[in-house]
A and B are shown apart, each in its own frame.
Chain A
Amino acid sequence: MDPMLAEKPVDLAALSPVDLHHRVAQFLYHEARLQDTHAYDAWEQLWEDDAIYWVPANGHDTDPERQMSILYDSRSRIKVRVEQLKTGRRHTQTPRSELARLISNIEVAAVEGAEVSVRANVLIYEDNLRGETIWAARNDYRLRLVEGAFRLVRKKVGLVNNARPVFTLSFLV
């Protein structure tokens, strides 16, 4: 556990905006590092049981229950995805993508009880056997504070070019 995340229980509503923003940013950087370094188990452990991990296609306001999405994972499918990566025979990640992502424009959109809604922009550089790819996304997160640490309830990765053909997206985005 990251020392920044393992503090004693806190009341989100009681935090100053600066403190809340700092804690949210630290969590997003932590998740980014786990993804960039392919720390699959630690990343999977961030997810709550009612998780939704969503990468829409063909726009940003589609209904994932009716329309195709690039990725629309429940908690159990997140586990399958991670387990597949860990077999060493997920060929598109063998060898693994080299990754570095920048997270910026972090905004706390709302606080409701133990949950906080967050917006952020993400730019991901990927290098793999095909070559270099840049991914840009406007992300929405719903984080839940559990025993003093944030956990992921919902993550929507809004690729800016999701209405156009995109290359294989097999790293943890």
Chain B
Amino acid sequence: MVQTEAPSRVAELIEPTRVHSRLYYDRTIFDEEMRKIWHRTWVYIGHESEVPNPNDYVTKSIGPTPVLLVRDRQGEIRLLLNKCPHRGNQLCAYKQGNRATFTCPYHSWTFANTGELMGYALPDGYEGVSKAGVSLGKVARIGIYRGFVFGSMAEEGPTLMEHLGGAKAALDQLCDNSPTGEIELTAGFLQHRTKANWKFMLENETDGYHPGFVHSSIFQVTKSGIANLYGKDSTALTRDYGNGHTEFDLRPEWRRLDTPLKWFGTSEERLPEYTAAMKAAYGDERARQIMIDGSPHTMIFPNLFIAEIQIFVLQPVAVDETIQHVTAVQFKGAPDINRRLRQQTMGSVGPAGLLLADDTEMYERNHRGALIHDPEWLVLSRGLHRERTDENGFRVAHSTDEVPQRGIWRHYLSLMQE
């Protein structure tokens, strides 16, 4: 029997410029999000470079559910659920490896890395029972764009390209910073356990209002000019791409400064190999523009955050607990910039990060605050009076305005009401 979803109560909790605290701590809403968002929309799983060879696999996730990202022996990407269809045992206990088959340790049923059952142990007990159709669960749809592997648990729905919409440009911008047009995620992920609801992270990734305060300590110590990007006179923009995707667009500031690699706090002279490779790949003029514009700061709903030089993956595991997975972007064929990308990433993010430890402190305080019943409503009205649309029709406003957060909730509401 098909279960009909009861009408969602969240419509009462979301208004255009304020949201109710209950959205962050109510377990029934979390369960509803799992069904209506995480098990339906496109969710980022992993990157093709994490499984470079046939039979490579790595354990990823969709929310609390582990997902095996596999490259099968034919080289095709598969997304398998880590559950033996016999007695439900966890099939693979390792984070990554290379194997053509998976054997359940419980009763030794063996599966090809395409998910199909290869054989029963002691097959005399299954006389006349067909193996056909017995397989591991699969993520219903796989979509890949420029090496980024997304999965949707829904058989039908918008295509990945329809889902990405305008935010596709951010993936292009990121990959254009590589002289080969390809990025790799080969340095391993830090896993930052966070006692807070996932939406605090989703909203904060493109919040330009907080850095000048939350990160003032490190800006001061490193004499960083970054704080100016989040100041009153900044020309940087916040953007709502629709479909829940949001951006903090620094290009207006970098173009004003008109200096290649300024975005990364360095210069062409200090990265001669990278600069030469970029010019050879794109021509002087285009390479110069790419190196001025830099890499994007874009949150792709619901879990992929491109933080210029890092990839963050948000994994909600409970209403009050989220894992932030993070690694350094590596530009294929650019060793001199890659080392710097790793060093800067290790310094700034992860559990000991000079930046992210403070963000995470805010997430956990946000969550504890949400549990306090008065006031119930949280405010997202900043910059409403100066919202406008850009040349592509997307909402934009000042770098500190809450355009992204309003956009996230607009999309969230539409998914939860369907």
Chain A residues within CB distance 8 Å of chain B: 55, 57-58, 62, 65-73, 77, 80-81, 83-84, 87-92, 129-131, 163-170, 173
From 174 to 190 in chain B, residues with beta carbon under 8 angstroms from any chain A beta carbon are 187-190
In the assembled complex, the CB of A1 is this many whole angstroms from the nearest CB of chain B, namely 27
Please name all residues of chain B whose beta carbon is closer than 8 Å to the beta carbon of A81 when the two chains form the complex. Answer: 354
Mind listing 29 A-B residue pairs with CB under 8 Å?
A57-B188, A57-B190, A57-B191, A68-B187, A68-B190, A68-B327, A70-B352, A72-B346, A80-B222, A81-B354, A87-B221, A89-B216, A89-B217, A90-B357, A92-B357, A92-B360, A129-B365, A163-B95, A165-B191, A167-B192, A167-B351, A168-B192, A168-B352, A168-B360, A169-B351, A169-B352, A170-B352, A170-B361, A173-B352
Q: Is B130 an interface residue (CB 8 A)?
A: no
Distance between Cα atoms of A130 and B193 in the complex (Å): 12
Q: Is B15 an interface residue (CB 8 A)?
A: no
Please name all residues of chain A whose beta carbon is closer than 8 Å to the beta carbon of B339 when the two chains form the complex. Answer: 65
Please name all residues of chain B whose beta carbon is closer than 8 Å to the beta carbon of A72 when the two chains form the complex. Answer: 343, 346
In the assembled complex, the CB of B329 is this many whole angstroms from the nearest CB of chain A, namely 12
Contact B351 A70 (CB under 8 A): yes
Set A71, A87, A130: member contacting B346, Cβ < 8 A? A71
Which of A68, A72, A77: most chain B CB closer than 10 A? A68
Apart from A70-B352, A165-B191, what are 5 other A-B pairs with CB-CB below 8 Å? A62-B188, A70-B190, A89-B216, A90-B357, A168-B357
Please name all residues of chain A whose beta carbon is closer than 8 Å to the beta carbon of B74 when the two chains form the complex. Answer: none
Contact B354 A68 (CB under 8 A): no
Distance between Cα atoms of A130 and B351 in the complex (Å): 14
Please name all residues of chain B whose beta carbon is closer than 8 Å to the beta carbon of A55 when the two chains form the complex. Answer: 352
Contact A91:B347 (CB < 8 A) given known A71-B352, A80-B221, A168-B357: no
Q: What does the 1/0 interface line of B38-74 toward A look like (CB < 8 Å)?
A: 0000000000000000000000000000000000000
In the assembled complex, the CB of A103 is this many whole angstroms from the nearest CB of chain B, namely 20
Contact A87:B217 (CB < 8 A) given known A68-B342, A92-B358, A166-B192: yes
Distance between Cα atoms of A72 and B342 in the complex (Å): 10
In the assembled complex, the CB of B189 is this many whole angstroms from the nearest CB of chain A, namely 7
Set A84, A90, A166: member contacting B351, Cβ < 8 A? A166
Contact A90:B352 (CB < 8 A) given known A68-B342, A84-B217, A166-B192: no
Chain A, Cβ-Cβ closest to B323: A165
Q: Is B218 an interface residue (CB 8 A)?
A: yes
Contact B189 A90 (CB under 8 A): no
Please name all residues of chain A whose beta carbon is closer than 8 Å to the beta carbon of B188 when the two chains form the complex. Answer: 57-58, 62, 67-68
Contact A70:B350 (CB < 8 A) given known A87-B217, A165-B191, A165-B192: yes
Q: Is B220 an interface residue (CB 8 A)?
A: yes
Distance between Cα atoms of A3 and B346 in the complex (Å): 36
Distance between Cα atoms of A83 and B222 in the complex (Å): 9
Q: What does the 1/0 interface line of B307-349 toward A look like (CB < 8 Å)?
A: 0000000000000000100011000000000010011011100
